[in-house]
């Protein structure tokens, strides 16, 4: 994935998810930005439920105009030992 700069279109985050971010609709992302535009965090009683909640959150998050890693991370969360206690290094992008 290549980093992208520009003006953000619609930015929307799912309800019930903690989001640490500085981006909002209309924000300008320069070519010199920190690649962490937002961090989504979820809580659930079990690891399996937390993974499902995070996948749902990534699927419903909207950051229009820029390329994001939300889509490439989705297949990663669905495979590669996702329910094991540790993610194998081979699974990391």
What are the pLDDT digits (tens) for 29-84? 887 876 788 899 999 999 989 988 998 998 899 888 655 555 555 555 555 444 44
10 Å Cβ neighbour count for 49?
Answer: 12
Higher pLDDT, 35 or 15: 15
Q: Which tokens belong to 48?
A: 């399996």
- What are the C-alpha distances in Å from 92 to residues 20, 24, 37, 81? 22, 28, 19, 11
In this prediction the pTM is 0.62
């Amino acid at each position: 994935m290549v980093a992208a700069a520009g003006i953000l279109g619609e930015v929307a985050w799912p309800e019930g998810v903690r989001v640490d971010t500085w981006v909002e609709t209309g924000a300008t992302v320069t070519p010199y930005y920190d690649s962490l535009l937002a961090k989504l965090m979820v809580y659930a009683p079990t690891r399996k439920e937390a993974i499902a909640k995070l996948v749902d959150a990534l699927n419903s998050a909207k950051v229009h105009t820029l390329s994001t890693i939300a889509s490439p991370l989705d297949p990663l969360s669905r495979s590669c030992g996702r329910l094991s206690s540790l993610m194998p290094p081979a699974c990391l992008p």
